[in-house]
Amino acid sequence: MSVATTMQLALRDAFHRRDAPGHALARDSTRIAAACRDMAGRFRRGGKLIVFGNGGAGADAAHIAVEFLHPVIVGKRALPALALSNDAATVTAIGVREGLAETFAHQLASWAGPHDIALGVSRDGRCPNVLRALRTARDLGLLTVALLGGTGPDPAPDGGAHADADHLLLARTADPDVVKEIHVTTYHLLWELTHLFLDHPDGPADDPAEDSAENAAEDTTRDTRAHPRPAPPPEPPCGDTCVTCSDQATPVTVVRLLHGGLALADTGTGTEEISVALVDATVGDTVLVHAGEAIAVVTKGAHHHGRH
Amino acid sequence: MAVTDEPPSQEMRGLYPFLYPDQDHLRSVLAEAQRSTEAKAAEIVRLRRHIADLDGDRLIACAQEMATRFASGGRLFTFGNGGSSTDAQEVATAFLHPAHPGRPLPALALTSDVAVVTALSNDVGFDVVFARQLAALARPGDIALGLSTSGGSANVVHAFREAARLGMLTVGLAGDRGGRLAELGLLDHLFVVPSPSVHRIQEAQTTLYHVLRELTQHALGASLPA
């Protein structure tokens, strides 16, 4: 066969290989919806998203974090998210001293709060550090989501991902390139549908993992002692623009404080729910809001009620 | 939970076309989330097939030129912003450390060195972060691959101008109607994903660069993945 013919065959084969796994994603719609419902529940309680993966999946972790933190859709709230694989200095330091398998679990134990979400990405479902971090996350009471790939009913026979993930989302192909492509669509949906549940006024406050974590109080206490986790307050940004994207921020007045770091704010044209998790705002304060997140207190108001 | 029988095409006219006032229960939201997933999964499968028809021959031509450059000692430099920066990283890793059988090929993502990116942004401006790295690192036989969902990112446009000036092979991945990258008229290869959705554009671009890598390896004589 001529080179031109084999290139045509290779092209046709490459696109054909993507069809079946692409269609298979639609069959996971129930699992994806359930994961988003539970993720929205965690964000509503003030939880953050912690993402991790190796190699190209580490790039996916960064993509997921920026997707939640700085949405492409204007007006969607910035949600707290962090990619552990971005920190090359810490990852390589842990890797060289304690071994690569310890990398994400170590970082997670220092960063995690009980309302958080751990999202691990592994294209073959076998990455030891991803599986270990998911187990650590579950022990600490986090909601755990695994984005895996492979074929057959049990893609990771030696891994504990099945036992350690509340939500297991699987790209059904052995080709790691195609796994990535299915994962990209999956995490775009995770972002979009999490906001759908957040926007919905009657959304759930609880999820199964949350319940089990609260019931297992002794375990949580033990883990807290084993991994003291002081929560450093985020540095408040200042100025009237967003520090991450330079977009203009809008001043609004806090009308009422709600649970989970949220508040009702008077925008001048109506009332909107905003997040005040990053600032110390009380009723009457004027705060600067960007993408639904208050980023600074401009003026303290007349009322100084505590949060309730 | 049962999924309604409405055709998915009705669900694709906007991001949240399904929030009707009478559907305010969790059960309804779950059902709508499922339906949205099914619609979007079908949409990206269709979009990939469309791209195979639209760009198949041009992908082969591009891969053959990339293979020629690599065979002559050329290197690949990749760049993009935000989510596209993670794609630039993915492309570099996929060429340099292939998961499939194939030759490791020299590739570098211009977004990975935070010291360089922040130094250039702080001292000169964000528009030059990729162009200036190319000016310092690249040679005429190299390849520049840039991604922009809008086609309008100023630093990506500047990078391609510099790449063309240097005599690099230029490969652009854009979306919608191609934006400024399509207007430039200086790219050797430009693949535009015809979709108004940033998310679908990114997903289809992922396929485009994976297929480009696979065809490049094929042209270099490596076997296809099993």
> Considering only CB atoms, which chain A residues are within 8 Å of B36?
189, 192-193, 196
Q: How far is A75 from chain B (nearest CA, A)?
A: 13
Give the pLDDT confidence of A185-194 residue by residue, as tens digits. Answer: 999 999 999 9
User: Architecture of A3-214 per CATH?
Assistant: 3-Layer(aba) Sandwich (3.40)
What per-residue confidence (pLDDT) applies to A304? 41
Q: Is A149 helix (H, G, I), strand (E, B) or coil?
A: strand
Bridge partners, B170 (sequence order): B144
Return the CATH number of A237-308, one of 2.70.70.10, 3.10.110.10, 3.40.50.1820, 2.30.30.140: 2.30.30.140
Tokens of A243: 């520090």
User: How many other CB atoms sit within 10 Å of the CB of residue A284?
Assistant: 15
pLDDT over threshold 70, residue A238: no
pLDDT over threshold 60, residue B105: yes
Is the CB of A200 inside 8 Å of chain B's CB atoms?
yes
Q: How far apart are CA A114 and CA A155, in angstroms?
A: 29
Tokens of B9: 């095409």
User: Is the confidence metric ipTM above 0.90 for this complex?
Assistant: no
If you measure CA to CA, which chain B residue comes closest to A205?
Answer: B26
A to B CB pairs, distance under 8 Å:
168
What per-residue confidence (pLDDT) applies to A152? 52
Question: Which residues have CB under 8 Å from A117's CB, separation 6+?
Answer: A39, A42, A43, A47, A48, A49, A50, A142, A143, A144, A145
Residues of chain B numbered 79-118 and touching chain A (CB < 8 Å): 82-83, 85-87, 89-90, 93-94, 97, 99-100
Minimum-distance CB partner of A193 among B33, B89, B99:
B33
Is the CB of B50 inside 8 Å of chain A's CB atoms?
no
Backbone angles phi, psi at B196, to 5 degrees: -85, -10
CB contact under 8 A, A22 and B40: no
CB contact under 8 A, B52 and A11: yes
Is the CB of A126 inside 8 Å of chain B's CB atoms?
no
Give the pLDDT confidence of A153-175 residue by residue, as tens digits. Answer: 454 444 444 558 999 999 999 99
If you measure CA to CA, which chain A residue comes closest to B205?
Answer: A181
pLDDT range class, residue A291, cuts 50, 70, 90: low
Q: How far apart are CA B163 and CA B145, in angstroms?
A: 10
Give the pLDDT confidence of A94-151 residue by residue, as tens digits. Answer: 999 999 999 999 999 999 998 999 999 999 999 999 999 999 999 999 999 999 998 7
Asked if the B26-219 domain carries CATH number 3.40.50.10490, the reply is yes
pLDDT range class, residue B26, cuts 50, 70, 90: confident
Domains A3-214 and A237-308 share a fold: no
pLDDT over threshold 50, residue B61: yes
Give the pLDDT confidence of A53-81 residue by residue, as tens digits. Answer: 999 999 999 999 999 999 988 889 999 99
In chain A, where are the structural domains located? 3-214, 237-308
Residue type, A160: G
Give the pLDDT confidence of A193-210 residue by residue, as tens digits. Answer: 999 999 875 544 445 444
Q: How far apart are CA B223 and CA B226, in angstroms?
A: 9
Q: Are strands B169-175 and A271-275 parallel, antiparallel or unpaired?
A: unpaired
Give the pLDDT confidence of B83-98 residue by residue, as tens digits. Answer: 999 999 999 999 999 9
In chain B, where are the structural domains located? 26-219
> Considering only CB atoms, which chain B residues are within 8 Å of A204?
26
User: How many other CB atoms sit within 10 Å of the CB of residue B137?
Assistant: 12
Q: What is the mean pLDDT of chain A?
A: 80
